[in-house]
Structure 1
């Protein structure tokens, strides 16, 4: 079999949000956050052939494994995105465009310093309010009782949502490998369904489209530009996010590379800026090899590089 993973993995980073409805047989969309080995993702695609199933996975290895699983099964109604769901769901999906969202046995992040990663924080219920259409739902399966209960309590504070009672050891239509192993050890699982009943009162505006490269008229050499930027850091556009330049390299052909690390609301990216000589000065562009997303921190890093090149 030819593993053309691009048939399944969507890496679009411009013209956002992605037009998922165009890919869906019926216009309906389900999402699974953190699909791991992809077996539940495959189950959703098999049992809902009229629905587009989109899996979000932060692990590159799991994203590729899930894509291969979907290709091997021959399902045309499933797609995968690799990255942090907190960013991708907000920027790559239109408001109230998803009917159901599933999370199966996520890490509960028990340490206090990791609390912001839990689904029990208010920002996650706000994200689900943005994403889920009225009448839709969010389903959580977990092996931690307090995690299910806290999630129900946090969502219930949001007037858009209504939580069903937490179920212990429910009969589920599909049991994942992890759940089967857990049950074989005689341990309990909990399941929670959250319903969204109301529409967004104010739908956010889309992000501005902006270029991934710019040109600077300058007498500086490429080496001077990249040397001046190494180890610089700052805030993203509008004070959102943070960026830092790390290593700088100069190729034999005179092209400079700057390693950039950005963080936007916990979504971290590593990518390179290219600094390329041209007759009028330099061209600065985001290297698209890693498919980085156009976040406020990325935009600020690009603007900083442009300003450094133009500064005399």
Structure 2
């Protein structure tokens, strides 16, 4: 590890890792600033009779006026072969203003050898501009705004109130009425269906048998500019599949951006496969980086073994190529 990299913290949108080769030669070390959410952060370690680990935001006007309220899990992980970990109890809604607001005293010897400080941010809140209760910075309704920008608000009423619907979408567990003109305007695939003498035009039906009625309703709500943030989050993978199938680029991009934001050990393998299937290189790179560079592949060994039994061979080869490249760095 070079001198400059000794202070660098690697991050994803919600995860920060600081790799420390050796603390034996000094009693104090502070990381370079790293950005999570709206704030720049620091980690620091101080060796005394015990090891003190601190997490705090960089002092700035933003921190003074609107300090973060953080929920997070912090671990110290041995980077040796056994990867032993010490985990602090989950911190919930802790306001952090300075370097004394979160201090973790560790009395287990960790002053020699390599170790990693791993911080997983579960939520970050800030005071609401209009006062009232703090709200999560990750709950901003960017998806709803994106959808509303591409469709008139009145289209939502046309769908929810079934105003002059002229085509029926048949799904695995029901059917929903919609409008040819709206579907054709939003999707070149639908446009082609209705422009040619295909069965969808003749029968005034579209069969989407691989979608549930709830997922299809979310799909139509997005097309009509009427989707809610929670509904979008629940059905992201189904919406990604539909966006790819019906060539709706802005929905595919919205799903891609959203799936990048909350990669964790429970969903990383599923998202890696989706990234490969739907040709999403940025999501694939982020999943591989999370698994390999951040060492999370060791935390999900059983799931990873199951993944190896069923995943595409080319994708498995990419994973192992990434692992081999990471070993070259040691």
TM-score, structure 1 as length reference: 0.22
Relative to its length, the structure with more strand (as a share) is: 1
Structure showing greater Rg: 2
| TM-score between the two structures when normalised by the length of structure 2 | 0.21
Tell me which protein shows more helix as a share of its residues. 2
